[in-house]
Amino acid sequence: MSPNKRITMHDHAAEAALFKRRALFTFICVFLLLCILFSNLYHLQVVSYKDYETRSNDNRIRVVPTPPSRGLIYDRHGVLLAENQPYYSLELIPEKVDDITATLDELNTFIELTEDERESITETLKFHRRFKPLTIKSKLTDEQVAIFSVNQYKFPGIYVEAGLKRHYPFNALMTHVLGYVGKINSRDKALLEKSSQWKNYAATKDIGKQGIEKFYESLLHGTPGHLEEEVNNRGRVIRTLKVTPPTPGQDIYLTLDLKLQQKAMELLDGRKGSVVAIDPRDGGVLAMISSPSYDPNPFVHGISSKAYNDLLNDKSRPLINRSTQGQYSPASTIKPHVALLGLEEKIINERTRIWDPGYWQMPGVDRKWGDWKKWGHGWVDIYHAIVDSCDIFFYDLVYKVGIDRMAIFMDRFGFGKSTGIDIFEESDGVMPSRDWKRMRYNQPWYNGDTISVGIGQGYWTTTPLQLANAVTIMANKGKRFTPHLLKSFKNSTVKIDSPIDEQVPIELKDPRNWDIINEAMRQTADKSRFTDATYTAAMKTGTAQVFSVAKDQKYNANTIAEHLRDNALVVAYAPYENPRIVLAVVLENAGWGGANAGPLARALLDEYILRDEWAVKP
């Protein structure tokens, strides 16, 4: 053996220990990895099973919401006022169309698109989500549907959709009561999202915009259903897995009487004005006319800008509901209420008489307030004051009563505040007071203001609905109801009457005062328009100045602009013994109330009281 050769000695014990340590480390690593693997498998297959199953189904199953049919609207006798009609529209999904402008140009060769429609599409696309369908043409005719169906292969991303759309068969007759439905816009969507109702409108394109349609949206809309469809990886439907039908909206019945409504519109004959009729037994509105009106049907499908601007700029203001938003001086129609206040405050009584020489002077003031009858009425008591509409009697009365007591008393009859009727479009009117004038004009109240207000002029304004409601309270001798339009509603099984909102009645110090005022109104009717009537009635007319005439000038309707002429008013109810209808009629710029509005009141009461259906009723 060479002395330089190194002999290596192996330490088998150390090598064995090293191997064991490495083997143990490797085993632990493999074990941990297997644990992680099995843990993930458990999490996927057991813990998150439902979640991943749902995700898988979402790729395979498509849930499509289906819109409910809107509830129908009827009058009190079951005549259909608002219905749903089938329609076809052309829909476009922006993300499936490469060049929308070119596509619309080509589509125009088959189905004409107006400039307004093209502009509307362009504007809407700026804010429209590309994966959601957009209506590009409403109200397709059967011929247009057939033409497009033949050429549909040329227009990927465009399709015909069938559905139901609101239709108002009586056109302009019911517009200011029913309102209309229209397309859901961004403002509607924001309100729905705020109220957590947006999910119920996932498949719905229209919503109530005004009137009954808006106020009772929750009843009329219904609940959407849905389809569960199995689709392939390209989104094509393979089969329908489940169908949940929508719940249609509830049908509603209104207190309106269609025949009376038609008669009122016929009598107005396009003139500017309003008619409101109320059933004093429950506060139900029998008729509500605002003239001129407009056809609501174009709003359902989307009215053109030109047509809407024409309505908006029309000097006769057809978009305004004169019955609930028109504010007029009540003129002499409120003299019965003022006289009732005088009786209550014991400033006058049934035997009180004053001398009317044709003018009245406030103590210590040189100015003379004239009567409509220049030579005066002579000696006048409360009956003659109301029957002959003697201004002097009421000048003297309100001067003694004062505006403070007057404002408080008239508030009880609903003047100066909304009636609470079940439509949103209602104005409060103005029942003036010292505080009101200070807040409105930053001026003090003068006695001369009280004199004007005392005959229903000056700052005092009221809506025809408020006026009808106040006369209803008078006819009911203090019994009060909230005016309402809903009579009943019907779900899938039963018809339910709407509850009647009876308010706290007005109680007088002497209940006989009701009889005195109502008797004076009966005498007014007997003297003027109802001398030959087969039923008894009560009424009061009024002529409201639109602008003031100078003291040394005489009012002459022929020499002033039409819009500055006096308004004609009348309130009436019948039968006198057991009232079934109360009327308030306003004719704008028509002149003398008794001569112009009076005949309308008589004709409407005849229509309602003498109708065949009442012949067998007590």
The 3-state secondary structure of 189-225, one letter per residue: HHHHHHCCCHHHHCCCCEEECCHHHHHCHHHHHCECE
| 612 assigned to a ligand binding site | no
Q: Which of 332, 389, 452, 528 is catalytic?
A: 332
Average pLDDT, the chain: 86
171, pLDDT greater than 70: yes
* Residue 581 in this model has a pLDDT that exceeds 90: yes
CA atoms within a 13 Å half-sphere pointing along the CA-CB vector of 296: 27
What mean pLDDT do residues 588-604 have?
85
**DSSP-assigned letters across all residues of 404-427:** HHHHHHHHHTTTTS----SSS---
CA gyration radius, the chain = 37
Average pLDDT of the residues in 284-305: 92
Q: pLDDT at position 263, please?
A: 95
**Are the C-beta atoms of residues 222 and 68 closer than 8 Å to each other?**
yes
Which pLDDT belongs to residue 134? 79
The reported pTM is 0.83
Nearest by Cα to 473 from 410, 523, 416, 516: 410
Domains in the chain: ranges and CATH = 63-254 (3.90.1310.10), 258-305+322-614 (3.40.710.10)
Please tell me whether 58 is known to bind a ligand. Answer: no
pLDDT score at 235: 59
Q: Is the pLDDT of residue 616 over 50?
A: no
Q: 553-563 pLDDT, tens per residue?
A: 554 555 566 66
User: Using 50, 70 and 90 to split pLDDT, how confident is the model at 617?
Assistant: very low
The answer on whether 356 is annotated among ligand-binding residues is: yes
Taking residues 146-165, what's their average pLDDT?
84
Task: Give how far Cα 397 sits from Cα of 28, 292, 381, 409, Å.
Answer: 108, 38, 12, 14
The pLDDT, as a whole number, for residue 615 is 44
ω before 292 within 30° of 0 (cis)? Answer: yes
Q: What is the pLDDT of residue 424?
A: 93
Residue 461: per-residue pLDDT: 95
Q: Is 35 known to sit in a ligand binding site?
A: no
Return d(Cα 504, Cα 476) in angstroms, integer. 13
* Per-residue pLDDT band at 60 (split at 50, 70, 90): low
What residues contact residue 340 under an 8 Å CB cut-off, 6+ apart? 474, 508, 513, 514, 517
The DSSP output letter for 519 is H
pLDDT of residue 612: 53
332 is catalytic: yes
Digit-coded pLDDT (tens) for 347-374: 999 999 999 999 998 888 888 888 888 8
pLDDT attached to residue 557:
54
More confident of the two residues 90 and 406: 406
408-437: pLDDT as tens digits:
999 999 999 999 999 999 999 999 999 999
Residue 85: phi and psi, rounded to 5, are: -115, 145
Give the pLDDT band (50/70/90) at residue 494.
confident
